[in-house]
Amino acid sequence: MLTWDLTLIKRSTDRKKKCDENRPRCTDCRRLNLSCQWPSKGTSVASVGDSPGSYATGSTDMDPIDSTDGDPLTCDWSTPDNDEEFIASLFPHSLSRQTVPTSSIGSPISINPHLRNEEDRSLFNHYIHVVSRALSRSHDSDRNPFLVTLLPLAATSDTVTSVILSLSGCHWKRVYPSIWGCALRRQGQALAQVNNLLGQSDGRCIFEACATVLLLCLTELFDGTSRVWKWHLKAASAILKSPAFQSLISGDEWTFCISLFHYLDSMSTISRCKPPLLHPGASMTELTTSFRRSSVPELEYGQSTTAIYGISPTLFDYLGMVNVLANHRSKRVDELSEIGFRAAATHVETRIDEWRADHDQMAKKELDTEFATTAFEWAIRLRLHQVVEGYDPLHSFVEKAIVAILDAVQEIPYASRVEGCLLFPLVIAGSSSVTIERRMIVKERLMVMENTLGFCHIQYARQLLEKVWEANSTSDMNWASVRYSQFPGVVFV
């Protein structure tokens, strides 16, 4: 159960908003996928906050914002004594221990010296307890790079702190629009500061610049209406290809940057219909021989890959291959080019079949992950079919793919860690669904994800589908012709 200190109880009472006390798990905790802890019998809510500024041992994942005026509440950010071990575990590197005074270890807020006011602290707190969890696909918080990699980096970098606050504000602005002003100012500061970092040759500055640009890209993508993410993604690609970055020794921060870029690069090929940026020369010939990410290391065993991908990173390579094909489909001008195009498509399909056979031989993971993998795999297969055969929703393969995707999606519980992997499968399946029942399955799940994940681009993706359904009900207009005409910023990350 969400617990409040005395000040928060008073403000909550003034707004007539409190925990609904549904047992065994209250509505707020269920919505945010938190553990719900109830006070022992005989302990009243008031007694939990008898000591001003103190917190009970339950979850403190709450929004420190007053919904009446949008201004941050004045909170005491103190944490229980045992938080010292948790915070210390986020700073495993000797650099962090030397930089951060041990006397300040007590909370992530107090460790970071770059938080200038209450709004900054509210945004940072929201990032730690809500945004970082929404971004992670892993159930293991110790493997969440949005915490274990970025928090120590932010403690020593005003630039990284600024972009984290910007990302947090992007997540929060749908519910608390007034907080976006503070976040936007910090976003501007990050943009100005990253140029200075790129002008330095120090290895840590390269890491800070790369992480900042990637988070700026993520912020624009989650906004759902921006085109600026393309420029950030290209800038990150240039940094990763630079000799300064290539010469750095592999580490957690290096793996984080590589993994996050590969994830965003692969997913954004759907909207660009271009080769992945690390493979600008990918051709039809390479598709039929060896399309491998030579510039990207093998990531399947990296510590942060599970949290970023949620499913096998290899599937994202295949998604890139499909969109290389999409880039070449307009070049089918004669019979010979058609034969070559279909041969390349068959090769990609064979690669996916081989991956599935190998995957079935591996040790099974959690059921949620397996269902998300199945949904994503069939979304790629359906996307490949659309690229090669067109967008006929009545084709037998389309029926088979939609059934496989929706059956897998419905097996994944709400607020699952892998729920973030479902946006691409849902949009692909929804765009080809012709029955009201299937459309409502897709729409209902997207509406749930708008609340469990909270980012604006999910809402725009749902509105995009509704536009497609409306168009298809009144004319022969297909998904390909309207997909990005009104929503150019939507990418299914």
- Distance CA(180)–CA(298), nearest Å, equals 38
DSSP, collapsed to helix, strand or coil, labels residue 153 as helix
234 CB-contact burial (10 Å; exposed 0-12 / middle 13-18 / buried 19+):
middle
pLDDT in tens, the chain (493 residues): 433 333 333 333 343 445 666 666 676 666 555 667 655 544 333 333 333 233 233 333 333 333 333 333 333 333 333 434 444 444 444 333 333 333 333 466 768 899 999 999 999 999 999 999 999 988 777 778 999 899 999 999 999 999 999 999 999 998 888 999 999 999 999 999 998 888 887 778 888 999 999 999 999 999 888 888 999 999 999 998 888 887 776 677 888 898 999 999 988 888 777 778 866 555 666 555 544 443 344 444 555 788 899 999 889 989 988 988 888 888 888 899 899 899 999 999 999 999 999 999 987 778 999 999 999 999 999 999 999 998 888 999 999 999 999 999 999 999 899 999 999 999 999 989 999 999 999 999 999 999 999 898 899 889 888 988 887 766 554 444 444 334 445 667 7
Contact call for residues 492 and 427 (beta carbons, < 8 A): yes
Q: What is the pTM of this model?
A: 0.75
Q: Up-side HSE of residue 134: CA atoms within 13 Å toward CB?
A: 26
Contacts of residue 416, defined as CB under 8 A and 6 or more positions apart, other chains included, come to 368, 372
Q: Any alpha helices (H) in 26-143, and if so which ranges?
A: 27-32, 45-48, 83-89, 94-99, 108-111, 118-126, 132-135
Q: What is the DSSP letter of 124?
A: H
Ramachandran class of 415: left when φ > 0, alpha when ψ lies in -120 to 50, beta otherwise? left
